[in-house]
Structure 1
Amino acid sequence: MARVVALYRHPIKGLTPEARESLTVQADGRVAGDRVLAFRFADAVTPEDRGGLDYWPKAKGLSLQDFPALAALRVSFDDTQRRVRIERKDELVVEACLDAAGRAELVAAVTEFVLATREGRRLQRPGRLPLVLVGDGEASRFQDRARGYVSLHSHGSTAALADALDAPVDDRRFRSNIVIDGVGPWEELAWSGEVRIGELTFRTQGPIVRCLATHANPDTGERDAKVLTTLTSAFGQGEPTLGRLLLPAAGSAEATIRIGDEVQAHSPLF
C-alpha cells in the first residue's frame, strides 16, 4: 500500500526544505507556507506576466540552480510571528521578522554568505546587488511555474536513481512537497486521472523535468551527483524527469495531508 512518508515546504524560494508532519493544501492548489519569500536580484523585483499570472523566473534571483551553496543553510519559518531563522552547521546565521529592519538583516546576512562562496562572483554581476527580499510570508507565489502546483515523487524512484549512481540519494534534492513509498520506481509518472491522498483528491498534471538544483548535496551545498545525465542515460529518458505535479480536483476546499496518509492512484502501465 502506498503511503506518504515525508512532507516538505520551502518557505524561501531556493533555500532548504522544512520537514513537516502535515501540509495544508489551499483551495488554489498551492501549499500553505511554501515559497512565500524569495531573494530577488535588484533589477528583477517585479514579476513577469505569464497569461495573467505573476511569474518569477528562478534565474533572476537566488536559487540552487545557480547558487548550490545555499543548500547548506537551514531555514525555519514561524508563520504566526512572520519570523525567519537561518542556521548553518547548527550555528545561527540570522533570525529576524519580516518588518523593514528584519528584511534588511536577512538580506545582509544572506548576501554576506553567498559572496563568501565559490558562486559569490555571480552575485556581483551588474544588476544583481542589492538583493531584495520579496513576498509577504503568507501568499505562496514563487514556484517555478506561474500556476503553482503540489509536487510529489516516490522513494522508489530516488532509490532506483541511487542504484544507478552507486551513491545515496536524499529525497530533499528534489524539493518535492510530498514523498511517498510503496510504489515501484517511476510509477508516479504513469498515473492518470485522479490521485487520492488522505482525504484530498488531486488531478494529475505534468511530470517534473529537473535542473541543476538536484546536483547540490542538501547538507553541504556541494554539487556531488550527476543526476541529470544519469536520469537520461541510465533510464532512457528524453529529458531528466523525476516526480510529477498535482492539482486538487475542481471544487476542492482547503485540506490537510499528513505523514502516513494512504495514496490511491491509477497506473495503467504497472
Structure 2
Amino acid sequence: MPFVSALYRYPVKGFTPEARDSLAVLDGGRIEGDRVLAFRFADAAEPEERDGLDHWPKSRGLSLMDFPSLARVRLDWDGRRLRLEVDGAPLAEEGLDAEGRRRLSEAVTGYVLGTPDARRLRASGRLPLTLVGDGETSRFQDRARGFVSAHSASSVAALDALVDAPVDDRRFRSNIVIQGVDAWAELEWAGRVRIGDVAFEVQKPIVRCLAIHANPDTGERDARLLPTLTREVGQTEPTLGILLLPAGSGGVIHVGDEVRIG
C-alpha cells in the first residue's frame, strides 16, 4: 500500500528544506510555514497578487536554480528566529526585527560572495539583498495557486540508477515523498488522491529546472538530470513529481499516512 515516507517544508524560498513529521495543508493549497521568507534582490518587485493569492517568481531573489551553493546552507525556522549554518558551522541566528534582518542578509551575502556563485550575485541590480516576508504568510510561491508538490521515491531511485552522482529526494524539493508505487506512475495520476485524511485533486506534472542539478550536500552541479530525463527516460520535457490542490478543506498529513489513488 502506498504511504508517505517523508515530508518537507521550505521556510525560505530557494533554500534547503526542513524535514517534518507532519505538515498542515492550508485550505487554499499551500503548506503552513512554507516559503514564508525570501532574500530579495535590490531591484526585485514585491510579491504579486492574482486571484487573491501572492506569488513571486524565483528570479526575484536567491534560489537554488541560479545559486547552487545555497544547498550547503542548513536552516531552522522556529517561527521567531532563523538559524543558518554551513557545513555544521553557524552562519547566523537572528529574529525578524530590522537589525536581525540586516544581519541575516549580510551573512548570506558574505557566504555567497565566497562561493563560485559570487559573480551571479554581483550582477547589476542584485545587491544589497533584503530579507522579506513576515515569517507566517506562505506568499513566495512560483505560481499564484502555490500548490502542494509530491513525487514517488521509486521515480527518484530510477533516475539515480542512470547517473554516477548520488540522487535522492532532496534534489526535487517536494513537500511529499511517496513510497510503494512504481517509478513514474505518479505522472499518470488524475482525479483525486487521498493522503491520510486530506483529499487532493491532481493538477499536473512538475517540469523541472536547473535546481535539480545541485548536489544537496556539496552545492555543486554534479548531475545533468534535465537531459537525462529527456534523452534517457524519454520525456518530452524534464518531469518528475506532481502538483496537488486540496479537493475541499485542508488538514494535517503525517509521515506514514496511507496514500489512496483514485
Do both proteins adopt the same fold according to a TM-score greater than 0.5, normalized to the shorter chain?
yes
Mapped to 1, the partners of 2:148 and 2:231 lie a distance apart of 27
Counterpart position of 2:72: 72
Q: Deviations over 1:54-89 (max 9, x none)?
A: 33111121001110000000011002xx21000111
CA contact (8 A) 2:149 2:242 kept: yes
Contact 1:215 / 1:226 at 8 angstroms: preserved in 2?
yes
C-alpha distance in 2 between matches for 1:47 and 1:144: 10
Question: Which of 233, 251, 256 lines up with 1:255 in the alignment?
Answer: 251
The CA distance in 2 between the partners of 1:135 and 1:94, in whole Å, is 18
The aligned length equals 262
1:246 to 244, 247, 251: 244
Post-superposition CA distance 1:108-139 (Å, at most 9, x none): 00000011111111111111111111110001
What letter corresponds to residue 23 of structure 2 in structure 1? L
Q: RMSD of aligned C-alpha atoms?
A: 1.2
SS in 1 for 2:223: coil
Superimposed CA distance per residue, residues 197-238 of structure 1 (whole angstroms, 9 cap, x where no aligned partner): 001100000110000000000111000111100000111101
Distance in 1 between residues matched to 2:40 and 2:49, nearest whole Å: 16
Tell me the distance in 2 between the aligned counterparts of 1:99 and 1:230. Answer: 44
What CA deviation, in whole Å up to 9, does each residue of 1:123-161 have, x standing for no partner? 111111111111100011112212100000000100110
In the alignment, does 2:38 pair up with 1:38? yes
Contact 1:191 1:204 in 2 (8 A): yes
- Aligned partners of 1:24 and 1:32 also within 8 Å: yes
SS of 1:137's equivalent in the other structure is coil
Equivalent residue for 2:177? 179
Distance 1:247 1:2 in 2: 19
Is 2:43–2:126's contact at 8 Å kept on the other side of the alignment? Answer: yes
For the Cα contact (< 8 Å) 1:45–1:132, is it kept in 2?
no
- Give the secondary structure class of the aligned counterpart of 1:122: helix
Native 8 Å contact 2:6 2:255 kept in 1: yes
Contact (CA 8 Å) 2:23, 2:31: kept in 1 or not?
Answer: yes
Structure 2 Cα separation of the partners of residues 166 and 127 of structure 1: 37
More displaced stretch, 213-222 vs 55-64:
55-64
Quote the offset at 1:49 in angstroms. Answer: 5.0
Q: Between the two proteins, what is the percent identity of the paired residues?
A: 64
Which residue number corresponds to residue 115 of structure 1?
A: 113
Determine helix, strand or coil for the equivalent of 1:164.
coil
Is the 1:45–1:134 Cα contact (8 Å) retained in structure 2? no
Structure 2 stretches of 5 or more lacking a match? none
TM-score w.r.t. the length of structure 1 is 0.94
Runs of 5+ in structure 1 lacking a partner?
A: none
TM-score, normalised relative to structure 2? 0.97
CA separation in 1, counterparts of 2:215 and 2:177?
Answer: 18
1:83-111 Cα offsets, whole Å, 9 max, x none, are 10001111100000011111011000000
How does 1:1-270 map onto structure 2 within 5 Å? 1-50=1-50, 53-79=53-79, 82-250=80-248, 252=249, 254-266=250-262
